[in-house]
Chain A
Amino acid sequence: MATKKKRTPTVQHGSWVAIAADSTIDTQNHDSDPAFVRLRNPSTDAASLYMLSSGDVQLFEVKAFEEDFHSWFVGQTVQRDGRLLFVTPMDPLYLIMPYLIKYGKEEKFQPVDQVVMDEEFPACSRLLSCTRSLASLHHIAEEKAVGQQTFYRYSPEKTMNWLKKKVERTVGVLKARSVSVGGGVKSTTYIRVKSESGDEDYRRYAHGLISEYVSEDLSKELLKHLQLPELASPKETEPPSKKRKLSDKPVEAEEDYTKFNSADFTRKPPKKMTAAQKSLAKGDKTGMKTMSSFFSGQAQRLEGALHHFGQMDRVPLQPQSAARGPTLVLLLLLRGCGRRPLLLGVVRGTRNPQHPVGVEVVIGRAGGH
């Protein structure tokens, strides 16, 4: 085969594919066009890209979905840049807040237009034109009206309550959309390891999301306000089982792993338990706890690994469980490391009362030539 060519550096070609909220292209009563602007990102303190709608009435956030080795076909053209931009409505208060905090230290009530100013990001004053800005400032500041003018002073207490409401709202949507917030192995298409996420998992996850829009200090304060204990830094060496508080129920395979060949099962995971799983669910679980904690710790790491190595492939597997008699088999297969599939791990446990836990981990390559 011919020698592969090196990838040439990408040059922005002046073409983008985006998915944007309909309100961005609202053509009604626009006196000006919407525009992409650079503003100070409250989380990083550096520049990020946002969009202000026509007349600056609404703020949008711009995020890019980007996977390596992707391009677009658009109509009868090709676009090398395979990114997909998401333009979603954003709460302008997140961007206004850092300015109020900065001036809030002076303990003075001030007109907001004298506070929201930034030499580096002159467009920031336009944030005050957003319909929601002035109407919602009271969530993070105390107001004082003097004559026609309103003066503001940053309020940490109000802000915490406001952010707490944000977290609660987010928890609601996370639950409704069943976003996986726990440490279960979510990426694999073979077995979904169900780790029942508790309320704390959801709140912590939502806190993490809200933290993307506030400073690090505020994020820590919010954690306290939510009465969520700070997690030890993942850098510290700890037994994996203690790294994350997980439900202490045993981790159960949600799938019947004797049906690996079923083509549909990755799409709609059957919710029914097999007889074997039922008996496992009802049965003696002593000894299983150790195993489940082993699983959960390991699973988190594997999940991370799987996450970066991406795609799973459906490979017909013969369950070894029947022959060996274990009750739990966790098989993880990795694809995408070069061309050959990699069998990452086989973890088996037995439920024999004499030998309650028998776990085997195999890491090695399988298949391929």
Chain B
Amino acid sequence: MDLSPFDTDNSVSCRLASQIPDVCRTEDCCLGIDEAGRGPVLGPMVYGICFCPVSKKQELKESKVADSKTLTEAERENLFRALDEARSYIGWALQILSPNTISTSMLQRTKYNLNALSHDTAIGLVQYALDSGVQLKEVFVDTVGPAEKYEEKLSKLFPGIEVTVRPKADSLFPVVSAASICAKVARDRIVKGWKFAEDLEDVDADYGSGYPSDPKTKAWLLKYLDPVFGYPQFVRFSWSTAQTLMDSKGVTVHWDDEDEDGEKAAQRQNNKSMLAYFSASAGGNEQNPTRQTHRFFSERRLKSLDTL
């Protein structure tokens, strides 16, 4: 697994993939989807797909990829090596969602929540497999949300493919376990070797599991809190753990889209509400009965001062 494409810019989303095995282009295939690193406040979330011909399901099962969540890191590395050795009939692809992508998406003006982001990423990976010529017939998906709705959504998007969405699918279907291993191995490696884009000296790499509940993670978050900037891009700013720490120990920052809705903001700024423009007095002078500033200035947000 060559992570260098992501390492060169770990602020964006990045896709890594194996070679597509020739046999996957000719034979009916099954595909598993799983994710790694949904909960942690640190590091990327990695989406993985793994696929192989339906006829090779048994061989996959025999490679003991099942129950990936119970494996140790070393066991996962070994299994990933095994998957890599089976590259003549097993293929995989990963979508790495950088913590910065997660933060900026979830905190976007038009909110893009983690579920929508996850679904879109999974869909993107299935589409990638299809576009690469993989003869998909069965897709197995692990989910944390309601399975039925998601299954329906995917079935509609990919007609002709039998979609099965199940909670804990990684322990039920070996192809999902395989996807889970790929995703988890990538996430572990990325977190371990995280290259900080910020100009920080010797960042302590002892950040624990990255889960907010981990004392090591908590200690790290306290240590690396910058009062103005908050955190390096390694941290998911959209996580309440990070928000709470910044609120209590950092400088308060206000954005124009927070809390109050547009109408209220307009009032506070002594602006006219939008609806006022459609009323009869549109463009009228609502403030002072004296003179109104010329629109050259108001359009440019320029005003006179009476004191410095």
Contact = CB atoms under 8 A, between A and B. Distances in A.
Q: CB atoms of A and B under 8 A apart anywhere in the complex?
A: yes
Interface of A: 1-2, 4-5, 7-8, 16, 36, 38, 41, 43-44, 46-49, 61-69, 78, 85-86, 179, 205, 208-209, 211-212, 216, 233-235, 237, 300-302, 304-305, 307-309, 334-341, 367-369
Interface in B85-111: 109-111
Given A305-B274, A309-B262, A338-B261, A234 B282 contact: yes
Contacts of B294: 208-209, 211-212
Given A5-B252, A68-B256, A307-B299, A339 B277 contact: no
Given A2-B244, A301-B282, A309-B262, A338 B274 contact: no
A211 B110 CA distance: 42
Nearest to B238: A1
B277 A302 contact: yes
Contacts of B295: 208
B111 A339 contact: yes
Contacts of B244: 2
Interface string B251-290: 1101111110111011001011010011011111100001
Contacts of B283: 234, 300-301, 304
- Max chain A CB contacts within 10 Å: which of B256, B258, B262, B280? B262
B302 interface: yes
9 contacts: A4-B254, A5-B252, A48-B306, A63-B302, A68-B256, A309-B266, A337-B263, A338-B261, A339-B110
A134 B266 CA distance: 46
A49 B305 contact: yes
Given A49-B308, A67-B301, A235 B284 contact: yes
A69 B281 contact: no
A216 B228 CA distance: 47
Nearest to B277: A305
Contacts of B255: 69
A16 B307 CA distance: 12
A369 B290 contact: no
A211 B293 CA distance: 10
B301 A78 contact: no
Interface string B235-247: 0001010011001
Contact of A234 (B269, B284, B296): B284
B261 to A, nearest CB: 4
Contact of B278 (A62, A86, A179, A301): A301
A337 B283 CA distance: 19
B192 to A, nearest CB: 29
A1 B106 CA distance: 11
Nearest to B303: A64
Nearest to B281: A235
What is the interface residue range for chain B against chain A?
35 or more
Nearest to B227: A78
Contacts of A216: 291
B58 interface: no
A173 B123 CA distance: 55
Contacts of A339: 109-111, 257
Contacts of A78: 228, 251
A305 B252 CA distance: 30
A86 B277 CA distance: 30
Given A211-B294, A237-B280, A337 B261 contact: yes
Nearest to A300: B283
B243 A1 contact: yes
Contacts of B111: 339, 368-369
Contacts of B271: 308
A324 B290 CA distance: 49
A66 B300 CA distance: 9
A212 B251 CA distance: 40
A231 to B, nearest CB: 11
Contact of B243 (A2, A86, A208, A368): A2
Contacts of A212: 293-294, 297
Contact of A69 (B254, B274, B290): B254
A2 B284 CA distance: 40
A307 B269 CA distance: 13
